[in-house]
Amino acid sequence: MPENRLKFTLRRLEKLEPVDKRTKFYDTENKGLVLEMFPSGAKFFRTIKRDGSSNRLITVTIGEFPSVTVEMAIKRHCELISEIINGNDPNETKREAKRRGITFSALYDIYDKDFTAKVKRDERRATSQDFNARLYRNHFSTVMDERHRRLPNITLEQIDAKYAAKIIDILKDEKTKPIFNKCLTMLISMFNLAVKKHLIATNPFIGEKKYRDNERKRYLQNDEMECFFDAINKEEQIYQDIVKMLLYTGQRKNCVLSMHWDELNNGYSIWTIPTAKMKGKEEHTLPLPKQCIDILMRRAKDKHPNGFVFPAITDNSKLGYVSEKTGENSFWRRITQNAGLYSTDKNKNLTIHDLRRSLASWQINNDVDIYTVSKTLGHKSIATTQKIYAHLNSDKIRDGVSTAASALELASVRSKNDSPFPKLKQFAESLSEEEREYLVGLLLPRQ
């Protein structure tokens, strides 16, 4: 086999020897997938395929290795081969986009229109679309390059891999890590749609990496419960009911606030959350505990005509149900401040979403199996639940190891000891004086 033919893998491509002139390497597993290497060391994936109708050889650049991984290159290569077989020239697609002068702003409009159709088909959530709109308005529309050009006015033809890298650097400098991750997710999604609609040949943001997400672990502790419930009970009844429903069901804020009577069965014991409200895009059926049923039965005595369990206080509400922005004058801010659980330190401050984490954490700490916890939360995969609550599992493992270690230590006490009950003797010796007195009091109660 010639030296320039090999199975493309990360390790093999990284170990390619430097070349004196431009050299092509061919993948043995995917016909037409090529890695072109330059004397500078740069390596570019390309697709080479002959058009069956015109017999013309078409070469399309996929992207630079290793920013574009082998897996990404193979996936895009297959898409390009399919396009060429169907009579489309991906390079012509790119030239057409240049002629039409489609801007980033125009692409967002196309993306938003496509998202609207998915919301109508219950494939995506309306809240996600609203979030995307805020992301575009507050973060993308203000991005300006070194030539003082705003991102919305830049054409797709101008946004190549090099320009995309500049945008990424700007976002990293100006945005927080969580916002940057959300921006990158949206950029990749927008430009994937552009590829799908033949506006561009390749996605210039493919290969860009998110910041590693540090899972938040804050949840209500045992010694915080009394103050928390005292603060809840000072609020109006509707706010008391909302917070308790959030805590007792472990569902997301939007699902609880927008709860509709039609989503509940006749006895209010089963809540079926529709697909359109679920992050996992699947309907979620949740059996409700007695505490929730009691709340619902009381609220059912005075149902609002709009059908929401928690209708808006004012008639001019656009949503029709209670909206909670968690700002300075919100009921959530009042509750957390009154309970001593509000903090400017984000890691210490208790958020509404922490109530969801609180229910799950208390389930796990009370030996509810991880499968049940996952089903309660409506996670699509049990692996998601395991990842988020791994620290609690670690605590249980530690307790289990400690118990075993103590048992092993006790087992080391041999029967030749002067006590007929060596384990009991060792336990008693491990107690403090105060603990011994308390134990004696338990064993020999006063008459």
pLDDT in the model for residue 395: 56
Which of 88, 116, 149 is where one domain is finished? 88
pLDDT in the model for residue 390: 61
Q: Return the H-helix or E-strand segment holding 287.
A: strand 284-287
pLDDT in the model for residue 63: 86
Assess whether 251 and 325 both reside in one domain: yes
The answer, yes or no, to whether residue 9 has pLDDT greater than 90, is yes
Report the CATH number that the domain containing residue 70 is assigned in CATH.
3.30.160.390
Q: 235: alpha, beta or left, given left = phi > 0 and alpha = psi -120 to 50? A: beta
pLDDT in the model for residue 373: 81
Of the candidate ranges 114-123, 167-176, 295-304, the one whose mean pLDDT is the lowest: 114-123
Q: What's the mean per-residue pLDDT of the chain?
A: 85
Give domain status of residue 365, yes or no.
Answer: yes
Question: Could you report the per-residue pLDDT of 26-72, keeping only the tens digit for each?
Answer: 999 999 999 999 999 999 999 999 887 778 899 999 888 988 899 98
- How many C-beta neighbours within 10 Å does residue 394 have? 10
Q: Return the H-helix or E-strand segment holding 37.
A: strand 33-37
Assess whether 250 and 111 both reside in one domain: no
The answer, yes or no, to whether residue 397 has pLDDT greater than 70, is no
Assess whether 423 and 326 both reside in one domain: no
Give domain status of residue 287, yes or no.
Answer: yes
Assess whether 388 and 418 both reside in one domain: no
Assess whether 47 and 112 both reside in one domain: no
Which of 58, 88, 118 is where one domain is finished? 88
For the entire predicted model, the pTM comes to: 0.56
Please tell me the total count of domains within the chain.
4
Give the whole-angstrom CA distance, residue 135 versus residue 132. Answer: 5
Give domain status of residue 214, yes or no.
Answer: no
- Band (pLDDT 50/70/90 cuts) for residue 99 is low
Assess whether 310 and 183 both reside in one domain: no
Assess whether 312 and 180 both reside in one domain: no
Q: What is the mean pLDDT of residues 377-386?
A: 75
pLDDT in the model for residue 324: 75
- Band (pLDDT 50/70/90 cuts) for residue 440 is confident
Give the whole-angstrom CA distance, residue 94 versus residue 200. Answer: 5
In sequence order, the 6+-apart residues with CB closer than 8 A to the CB of 103 are 152, 153, 154, 155, 156
| Cα atoms in the Cβ-side hemisphere of radius 13 Å centred on 231 | 18
Assess whether 25 and 77 both reside in one domain: yes
pLDDT in the model for residue 313: 83
Assess whether 372 and 246 both reside in one domain: yes
Pairwise pLDDT comparison (295 vs 202), residue with the higher score: 295
Give domain status of residue 232, yes or no.
Answer: yes
Report the CATH number that the domain containing residue 258 is assigned in CATH.
1.10.443.10
Instruction: Pick from 1-15, 296-310, 321-335 the range whose average pLDDT is largest.
Output: 296-310
Give domain status of residue 202, yes or no.
Answer: no
Residue whose entry in the numeric block shows the structure tokens 């910041």 = 211
The answer, yes or no, to whether residue 172 has pLDDT greater than 90, is yes
The answer, yes or no, to whether residue 91 has pLDDT greater than 90, is no
Assess whether 230 and 244 both reside in one domain: yes
For residues 277, 283, 284 and 290, what is the CA-based torsion angle, rounded to 10 degrees?
80
Share of the chain above pLDDT 90, in %: 47
Assess whether 348 and 384 both reside in one domain: yes
Q: Choose among 310, 283, 419, 325: nearest CA to 134.
A: 325
Give domain status of residue 170, yes or no.
Answer: yes
State the angle between helix axes of 331-338 and 225-232 in degrees (0 to 180), rounded to the nearest 10: 140
- Band (pLDDT 50/70/90 cuts) for residue 217 is confident
Give domain status of residue 343, yes or no.
Answer: yes
Provide the domain limits for residue 407. Answer: 394-443
- Band (pLDDT 50/70/90 cuts) for residue 419 is low
Assess whether 126 and 15 both reside in one domain: no
Specify the 3-state DSSP secondary structure of 332. Answer: helix
Of the candidate ranges 62-76, 109-123, 320-334, 379-393, the one whose mean pLDDT is the lowest: 379-393
Of the candidate ranges 6-20, 161-175, 371-385, the one whose mean pLDDT is the lowest: 371-385
pLDDT in the model for residue 416: 46
pLDDT in the model for residue 199: 86
Residue 223: φ, ψ to 5°: -80, 0
Pairwise pLDDT comparison (344 vs 297), residue with the higher score: 297
Retrieve residue 216's tokens.
């938040």
Give domain status of residue 93, yes or no.
Answer: no
Residue 113 burial (10 A CB sphere; 0-12, 13-18, 19+): exposed
Which of 31, 58, 88 is where one domain is finished? 88
Q: Choose among 79, 100, 102: nearest CA to 201.
A: 79
- Band (pLDDT 50/70/90 cuts) for residue 101 is confident
